[in-house]
Amino acid sequence: MAIYTLPELPYDYSALAPVISAEIVELHHDKHHAAYVKGANDTLEQLAEARAKDQWGAVNGLEKSLAFHLSGHILHSIYWQNMTGDGGGEPLEKDGTGELADAIAESFGSFARFRAQLSKAAATTQGSGWGVLAYEPLSRRLIVEQVYDHQGNVGQGSVPLLVFDAWEHAFYLQYRNQKVDFVEAMWRVVNWQDVARRYRTARDGAANLLLV
């Protein structure tokens, strides 16, 4: 029985156009994201077989496979919720996202400086990866991370709040090799309500998970 399942999109394929075309959303969700879900489930089955047979020759590859596919599934699940067709702008007190706005200003100096850092992190990720705004529970502040592939180069306790997918499958059909243009366009569909909710949840719950 499958442990992980592909989440439904919270909008129609065309809801993010013209920033992201319906064709890309459909392929990205139904093919690429689905492949990570299948990969995670298949790897769990192979690990169960290894335990049953007490055969561990492939354990290194299986652990890497699980981390890759599971992280891909988690990041994509956040990605779809992070976007909305009527999003964009920046978090504001009048929109009920003032706490997030204050945290961004405290951690980065201003929204403009935060936006510049996340944009550069996403656009300059070498090869395949992500730019991520995350909550770091030890310092109780926000940080920007570059995630190589789906799981590398991250703080172990950090909680992703806003993710920009910088893999070519996220934009190539529409933006060709202009990753910078895609990242810039992404700001027009950010769902700040979702990001603010994730921030509150991480701030109120994650701080007690480490070093207790």
Average pLDDT per consecutive 10 residues, the chain (212 residues; last block may be shorter):
93 98 98 98 98 98 98 98 98 97 98 98 95 95 97 92 98 97 98 98 74 54
Token pair belonging to 109: 């100096």
Contact between residue 130 and residue 143 where contact means Cβ atoms under 8 Å apart: no
Whole-number pLDDT of residue 207: 52
Assess contact for 33 and 76: CB atoms under 8 A.
yes
Helical spans, DSSP H, in 54-135: 59-81, 98-108, 111-123
Q: What tokens does 41 get?
A: 């489930």
- State residue 205's pLDDT score: 85
Query: What pTM, to 2 d.p., does this model score?
Result: 0.96
